[in-house]
A and B are shown apart, each in its own frame.
Chain A
Amino acid sequence: MKLTVNGKTEEIDQVMTVLEYIRFKGIDPRTVVVQKNGEVIKRDHWEKEVVRENDRLEILRMVGGGSF
């Protein structure tokens, strides 16, 4: 199944929810926000929201440093 994640195409071989995908990528779900096909997916919907063929995901990591 083909996906575009942060502008790059990738293949995954099974159907996953947004939450499963984030965990699959080794990302701590508490540290990111997610858009799917241009719409923000709220955190409490990640468990239900399924990633489908040709979906466009943007996974934005929180970076809080400004290095005082």
Chain B
Amino acid sequence: MAGLSESQVERYSRQLILPEVGGKGQEKLLRGRVLVVGAGGLGSPAAYYLAAAGVGTIGLVDSDSVDLSNLQRQILHASEDVGRPKTESAAEKLRALNPDVTVNTYQTRLGVENVREIIKDYDIVVDAVDNFAARYLLNDACVMEGKPMVEAGVLRFDGLLMTILPGEGPCYRCAFPDPPPPGAVPSCQEAGVIGVAPGVMGVLQANEVIKLLLGVGRPLAGRILTFNALNCEFQEIEWKKNPDCPVCGDHPTIRELSEYHLACEVRGD
């Protein structure tokens, strides 16, 4: 296998034998550049599986530090990491898992002023944020940059997943045109979350990214997947691109990024 070292052939052997991956696919993964926004409940499993699969460059954005209450679900962080920046703790685990991976860290809050600049350098964005303001900002920025984004959200025992391919399928606003009024939808901090919910959804985000990088399978675009852990139910809902969407529709009214300031969402979960 041309570009792979002996140890890489061994490390990735179980996926190299898959016809959908093979040596060529593995090289695509190694060349892949993926930005994971949020190194928490969703970002932990997403980034961990991407690193394990040999996605060559992973960017991690997070401004928070590890809190003891994070460890119930944010599996990249350990007890001894409490108090450390999440990007630092997460990067260390990813590098230890797979030295093939270059991890770029951004210990910052995504905002209007930096979001387009940061996502520009990546092929795919994983939305693993914990609040609606960041979710809408990232959606709008990805639509404007034409960047594929794999979106997920969780609350209590529920999860939601959609893959956004700007120009081809619906964006987040096609389904949810505006954020809910502040306080209407509680955060995980207020309402709780079972650890496996972001676990399941984060792994599914990694799956979507790997498929996109390889160019195999059918992306979850034009469809929304919901998961309920209590009943162990998945449901798929077809969702069309909205021609009247304010950001990706035929006559967009949002042409510049702006940020929602939602009072109850200042702090993360």
Chain A interface residues (CB < 8 Å from chain B): 6-7, 28, 30-31, 33, 35, 38, 40, 58, 60-68
Contacts and interface: CB of A to CB of B under 8 A. Distances in A.
Contacts of A65: 41, 130-131, 153-155, 187-188, 193, 198, 269
Contacts of B39: 68
Given A30-B180, A31-B180, A66 B38 contact: yes
A67 B73 contact: yes
Interface in B198-248: 198, 224, 226, 235, 237-240, 242
B153 A64 contact: yes
B188 A67 contact: yes
Given A6-B235, A58-B237, A63 B158 contact: yes
Contacts of A6: 235, 237
Nearest to B183: A30
A68 B40 contact: yes
A67 B154 contact: yes
Given A35-B237, A64-B187, A30 B181 contact: yes
B237 A68 contact: no
Given A65-B154, A65-B188, A60 B180 contact: no
Interface of B: 38-43, 62, 64, 70, 73-74, 86, 127-132, 135, 152-155, 158-160, 175-176, 179-181, 184-185, 187-188, 193, 198, 224, 226, 235, 237-240, 242, 265, 268-269
A30 B183 CA distance: 10
B179 to A, nearest CB: 8
B1 to A, nearest CB: 36
B62 A68 contact: yes
B55 to A, nearest CB: 19
B166 to A, nearest CB: 19
Of A7, A30, A62, which is in contact with the most chain B CB atoms at under 10 Å from its CB?
A: A62
Contacts of B132: 62, 64
Contacts of B42: 66-67
A67 B154 CA distance: 7
A33 B135 CA distance: 17
Nearest to A58: B237
Given A63-B155, A67-B198, 7 more contacts: A6-B235, A60-B224, A60-B237, A61-B160, A65-B155, A66-B129, A67-B188
19 contacts: A7-B235, A30-B181, A33-B175, A33-B176, A40-B239, A62-B180, A63-B159, A64-B180, A64-B187, A65-B155, A65-B188, A66-B43, A66-B131, A67-B40, A67-B70, A67-B74, A67-B269, A68-B74, A68-B129
Given A28-B184, A33-B175, A33-B176, A64 B131 contact: yes
A61 B45 CA distance: 23
